Chain A
Amino acid sequence: MDMIGMAIKIAILIAYAIIGTCVGLLFMGIGRKIIARVHNRVGPPFYQNFIDVAKLLSKKTNISHGWIFDLALLFSISGILLTLLFLPIGGAQLLSMDGDAFLVLYLLAIPALGFALGAGASGNPNAGVGVMRALVMMLSYELPFVITLIALMIYYDTTSLATIVKMQSIDGIKSWAITMPPFMIAAFAADMALQGMLMEQPFDIPVAPHEIASGPMVEFGGKYLGSLMLYKAIALVAETTLFVDLFLGGGVVMHSGVMAAIINFFVWLGLIFLLFVLSILIAASFPRFRIEQAFGFYWKYEAIIAAISLIWVYIMVIK
């Protein structure tokens, strides 16, 4: 019995990985199309990113820079897959425990560290600069994000993502966190943090192709770059899902039955798509910040906005 349960879990894990990559690559392609339309261009077909990955994975030579370089990709992809397992997708969560809202924050840091390892092993100075910028970015967007998370935890009196989602889905759209005034401003801060997590403009400082030759990815080519694109696709899904779980009720609109699960899945898909389109539109209309500007933006303005919402929530709870 245990073995069967294990097998089912592994099958679901593989399904998650496939869904994550497919949805992510599709979104990235659509994002490129949207950016092209904003630039008044025709743009590539929406399935362009699938072709890109297929091409990269079929390259004949793939230069490695030692075993740490190889391990870095494993680090990134396994870290982001583990994050995806802990996130409720349309209300369904594969792994859960008390305090997984904190755990997800830690797990989201693993891929960045993997990146740092790989870039360090490649020995390219551009990669070093890129990794340093990526770590500073992480430090800056995590402060407002953690404050908004704490506000949510205080309001719902829990540290479990599943409970946060469940509490928000009691009364449909009306009970979503984003409908409450303190969480409206918290959602703004969290969305800006999401922009940094997704490394879209104006926060694409770590990869900045025209400045530091795409930063940590500078020595990645062939199959390595292909797997990195897969990682990026899964990361896109995981990070937008985190926002949807925290503020938009995880996309849960119906409660019991198989039909409800399917509908919830598609609502979740629609919500993360909307979120991604929003971030792409911001990306298409703003130029890149410098690193100290981004740091100042997050720690001065976003952190204050998040703190206001935290205080507001605290007062609401005490009453």
Chain B
Amino acid sequence: MGLHNGDKMMRYEEWSKLARKASKKSLWMVHFCTGCGAVEMPPVMTSRYDAERFGITSMATPRQADVLLITGYLTVKTLRRVIQVYEQMQSPKYVIAFGSCTINGGMYWDSYNTIKHLEKYIPVDLYIAGCMPRPEGIINAFIKLMKLIDEGKARGWEKYQKYYDRYKENQRRVFNFEIKEEQKEEKNEEH
């Protein structure tokens, strides 16, 4: 019985290795363009840098995509939409955060309205540093992500399932804050 199970596990391992091989060679992304990062995407996709030669294409909807590319700062309001988009994607799914805004707030480090660390709210597999990163940097990041997928290290989606309550708690904290602020403003207007 044990041997049989071991056999099954082996087979499963081999299958998942094959699946990872296929998955790394065809990364379909949906790019969530906030802020100035959107400008860098057309040269990456079109004839100058041509990301399609690595199997990277942009998809129309989150349901069809594997990679969520977040290009720039996120206000609390956009964060809600990002989380919605992320949860609509089919796992295995990966997140690439783009630019220093997603790492530490970037030039919005002291803003009351943007989030500073994206990793608190959704699992990020890879960061691209820079303000702005060049198209070469983006393609470099994708190749790094392929390597991570091949080694089985890009496990952000599993982390999100495992620590769902903690992610939700973090998300709820900023959203509640936002709601309270709105209520305060409403009260001020009433006075």
Find chain A residues with CB under 8 A from B89 CB.
Answer: 221
Of A48, A55, A63, A209, which contacts B23 at CB under 8 A?
Answer: A55
Of A63, A209, A217, which contacts B90 at CB under 8 A?
Answer: A63
- The number of residues on chain B lying at the interface, defined by a beta carbon within 8 Å of a beta carbon of chain A, is 25
When A41-B50, A63-B90 are in contact, do A218 and B22 touch as well, CB less than 8 Å? no
User: CB distance A60 to B26 under 8 Å?
Assistant: no
When A43-B52, A214-B64, A220-B63 are in contact, do A60 and B47 touch as well, CB less than 8 Å? no
Find chain A residues with CB under 8 A from B92 CB.
Answer: 59-60
Find chain B residues with CB under 8 A from A217 CB.
Answer: 64
Interface size class of A (residues with CB under 8 A): 20 to 34
How distant is the Cα of A59 from the Cα of B19 in the complex, in angstroms? 8
User: CB distance B64 to A225 under 8 Å?
Assistant: yes
Find chain B residues with CB under 8 A from A32 CB.
Answer: 52
Does residue A39 face the partner (Cβ distance < 8 Å to B)? yes
How distant is the Cα of A59 from the Cα of B157 in the complex, in angstroms? 12
Find chain A residues with CB under 8 A from B90 CB.
Answer: 59-63, 221-222
Q: How far is the CB of A183 from chain B (nearest CB, A)?
A: 39
Does residue A213 face the partner (Cβ distance < 8 Å to B)? yes
User: CB distance B47 to A51 under 8 Å?
Assistant: no
Which residues of A251-302 are within 8 A (CB) of B? none
User: CB distance A58 to B23 under 8 Å?
Assistant: yes
Q: How far is the CB of A53 from chain B (nearest CB, A)?
A: 9
Does residue B117 face the partner (Cβ distance < 8 Å to A)? no
Does residue B188 face the partner (Cβ distance < 8 Å to A)? no
Does residue B46 face the partner (Cβ distance < 8 Å to A)? yes
Contact sample, A vs B, 23 pairs, CB 8 Å cutoff: A32-B52, A36-B50, A39-B47, A42-B50, A42-B53, A43-B50, A44-B55, A45-B55, A54-B18, A54-B22, A55-B23, A59-B90, A59-B92, A60-B91, A60-B92, A61-B91, A209-B59, A214-B61, A214-B64, A218-B61, A218-B63, A221-B63, A225-B64
